[in-house]
Structure 1
Amino acid sequence: MNSVKEVYGNRWTAWWRRNSTVLQVAATISCNLGYLLETGYTRTAAALSMVSLGGATLYYISKRRWKIKPRDLVVITGCNSGLGYSLAMHCRAQGATVLAGVRETAVVLKPNAVVESLKDRGVIVHQLDITSEESVREFGEKVKQLSEERQLALRALVNNAGVMVFGEFEWQTQELAEYQLSVNLLGTMRITRELMPIIRRNGGRIVVVSSHCAADPLPGISVYAATKAALHAWATALRVEVGKYGVNVVSFIPGGFISESNIMRRQRLHFDEMERHMSDEAKQFYGDYFTRYAEYFSQADLSSGNQDNIKVLSNSRIYETFDSALLEIHPSAVYRCEPWRYFFYRIMFKNTPMWIRDRLVQCFVNAPSWQIEKQ
């Protein structure tokens, strides 16, 4: 009984969040109409009624959604943990046929707990390394096979796979920079190109998981931010290119959820790699700053546990925003799910002088401070 109440409670909460603004506007207009009629301004009240009716109609049309059916295939990349895993479970619970791309289907000689969990819920799992042409080609064949055998329509490709490495630019090796570029940007392009014929044929949708760092780059993840900014530019141009073929491209910004993701599970190893390749001059210059920095940002790595630790996002707003990005018939270009803190900083970043903005950025990241040792 409690679970049923919880489900309906969540539905009512989601409904209220989606419609609270329009309900408040409707209440305000109704009060104004009542006042105008009461005071004898009938023509003004009639005009306001027509304008309100037209606005409500346009709003309803713009917010219409298509309903997920079992024949709808949703392909999601990067489902090993965090957002990808959670979205795969969510889409499957909504009734869609879900194909989840994962880096590996087994860990050494034992089953992968994430993969087994996905399969238990009816999600179809297939190995996918978006940095490999061969792996992407095999994944594309799997999508074609599923579509033909089960008579499925590819409704959406959710480009979720991504990696992030913390560390100042000078510390990050060329290999680490190319690793992020290969996965976040080139890998997303590769899988999208492979599936584009099926997407066009079915009038599907391309959902690109972006980041607030695309527009507001942060220190410590300059390379990651560069890949996300490039991804945003690509998605913006692609939206116009494929729009004439009936394909929608939307960017989905889910906000921060590092504590519920394994995206930083290798951060400690990345810092070790940076230190091994750091010159003697750099080690002497940075001193204990690098050590303090590495210890601070490795905390997320330690909290993530082992590779089989299953991370499920608990923020219901992420799922609500994702549903809008996935299902709205006339989608917006960008969908954001961000806490008030992110919203506040984003506005301040864009409307303050550069020297104030830079200080705000440092407060937002809250990284260890740089202290020059006294000689």
Structure 2
Amino acid sequence: MSSWNQLVRALKRSLGVGRQQLQVAERHVVLVTGCDSGLGHSMAVYCHNMLNMTVVGCCHNLQSAGAKRLQQLDTVQPGQRSRLYTWQLDLLSAESIQQVHAQLQLLLASHDYQLWALVNNAGVMCFGEFEWQLPAQFELQINCNLLGTMRLTHQLMPLLRQHAARIVNITSHCGLYALPALAPYAASKAALRLWNDALRIELQQYGLEVVNFVPGSFVMDSNIAARQQQHAEQMFLAFSEEQRHFYGNYFKQFNEYLSILSGFKEPNKVQDVRLLAKFKDALTSTQPLTIYIHEPWRYKLYRWLFGFCPTPIADWLAIRFCAMPSYASALGSEKRN
């Protein structure tokens, strides 16, 4: 693609000129990661049920409730071919990534399939101040959210290029603005956002689209933080006597507040029509936006304020936005008791 054509294309995209919806069908394959629960599970179901695409739903555990529900959707009548494949994927394992690549190659070669999109959704999250988190915990978040996504995309890159498939990377508001108690997670998502942007620029010359999709808060509807209490127990066990004395009741209050996140939830379909419409546009528009941000009004207000407030005020707003227990409030409660 010439530099002039790239410039014209960029101008059309920025102005929204010529935006149309491409028609997708069962011959179009979309691979979604992190389908055990939450947004990934919902995206896989939406692509299968509403867009009639062939879906590869990658799950970390094929015995999970989400994986089994996806398998139940795959009701093939005689003479029909499957439109939903549930594969195991561990983004921390090079062997697992290579196996998914081999399975995808075979799938695409067996029929007149076209690889339409890779949706990088899988991720892990651990709440806790940075001093609390163990190296294994913050390395897990960086390794899965960032490096695992990079490894999978790199492995599939020739297939993506050959099929002119698009890449949709699910990032986070944490990648737009830093939030306390989520430093490693925010770092992984911020790095993912910049990698997404660089990849978008690189692949334009080959006619590939790369999209950043920021879906808003789904922590209550997914299992991304299901092991939070186990993480907290590991943190506390690793504390020195000085740390246990210094943080005192604060650490306990902090994790009691987060107890609602722990435990694995049943997968449920996202019912947000506006979010799903944006996801469809990211998949099927001839001129997809470079970034889709879906958020409740509270997120939108804070994001707007973060954009122009002086740093001290923005920091105060970030604390207000998270609404977590504070060290000062915990000390106050200890004194009152």
TM-score (norm 2): 0.89
Alignment match, 2:324? 367
Partner in structure 2 of residue 39 of structure 1: none
The one-letter code of the counterpart of 1:198 is: L
| In 1: Cα distance, 2:287 partner to 2:17 partner | 11
1:11-22 equivalent positions in 2, closer than 5 A: none
1:336 is aligned to 2:293: yes
Distance 2:271 2:231 in 1: 28
Q: Does 1:116 align with 2:68?
A: yes
1:8 is matched with none
Aligned position for 1:138: 99
2:23 corresponds to 1:71: no
Question: For residue 345 of structure 1, what is the amino acid of its counterpart?
Answer: Y
Partner of 2:163: 202
The secondary structure found in structure 2 opposite 1:287 is helix
- The one-letter code sitting in structure 1 at the alignment partner of 2:184 is V
Q: Secondary structure at the match of 1:223?
A: helix
TM-fit CA distance, 1:331: 1.4
The correspondence for 2:208, drawn from 225, 240, 247, is: 247
1:126 equivalent in alignment to 2:87: yes
State whether structure 2 residue 242 is matched by structure 1 residue 281: yes
Residue correspondence of structure 1 range 299-314 to structure 2 within 5 A: 299-302=260-263, 304-305=264-265, 309-314=266-271
Structure 1: gaps (5+ residues): 1-54, 107-111
Q: For 1:316 and 1:143, locate their aligned partners in 2 and report how far apart those are by CA, in whole Å.
A: 30
What amino acid maps onto 1:218 in structure 2? L
For residues 262 and 314 of structure 1, what CA distance do their matches in structure 2 show?
Answer: 17
In the TM superposition, residue 116 of structure 1 has moved relative to its aligned partner by: 2.1
Is 1:85 aligned with 2:41?
yes
User: CA contact under 8 A between 1:162 and 1:184: conserved in structure 2?
Assistant: yes
How far is 1:105 from its partner? Answer: 1.2
Partner amino acid, structure 2, of 1:174: P
Any idea what SS the aligned residue of 1:244 has? helix
Q: Distance in 2 between matches of 1:313 and 1:332?
A: 22
Runs of 4+ in 1 over 2 A off after TM superposition: 371-375
CA distance in structure 2 between the aligned counterparts of 1:174 and 1:263, rounded to whole angstroms: 19
Residue pairs, 1:1-375, within 5 angstroms:
59=16, 61=18, 63-93=19-49, 94-106=51-63, 112-122=64-74, 123-302=84-263, 304-305=264-265, 309-371=266-328, 372=331
d(CA) in 2 for partners of 1:60, 1:124: 36
Q: CA RMSD in A?
A: 1.5
Given that 2:228 and 2:262 are in contact with CA atoms closer than 8 Å, whether structure 1 keeps it comes out as yes
One-letter amino acid of the structure 1 residue matched with residue 28 of structure 2: D
**Which of structures 1 and 2 has the larger relative contact order (alpha carbons within 8 angstroms, sep 6+)?**
2
Shift of 1:59: 4.2
Contact 2:22 2:286 in 1 (8 A): yes
Q: Paired residue for 2:78?
A: none
Which residue pairs with 2:8 in the alignment?
A: none
Counting helix residues as a fraction of each chain, which structure ranks higher? Answer: 1
Q: Distance in 2 between matches of 1:195 and 1:256?
A: 29
TM-aligned CA deviation for residue 224 of structure 1: 0.2
Alignment-derived partner of residue 6 in structure 2: none
Per the normalisation by structure 1, the TM-score is 0.80
The aligned residue for residue 45 of structure 1 is none
Counterpart-to-counterpart distance in 2, 1:213 and 1:258 = 12
One-letter identity of the residue aligned with 1:342: Y
CA contact (8 A) 1:167 1:221 kept: yes
Superposition deviation, residue 314 in structure 1 = 2.2
Structure 2 SS opposite 1:311: coil
Equivalent pair of 1:88/1:100 in contact (CA under 8 Å): yes
Cα distance per residue 1:46-75 (max 9 Å; x no partner): xxxxxxxxx9xx6461x2111111110000
Question: Residue 366 of structure 1 aligns to which amino acid in structure 2?
Answer: A
Q: Runs of 5+ in structure 2 lacking a partner?
A: 1-11, 75-83
Aligned to 1:23: none
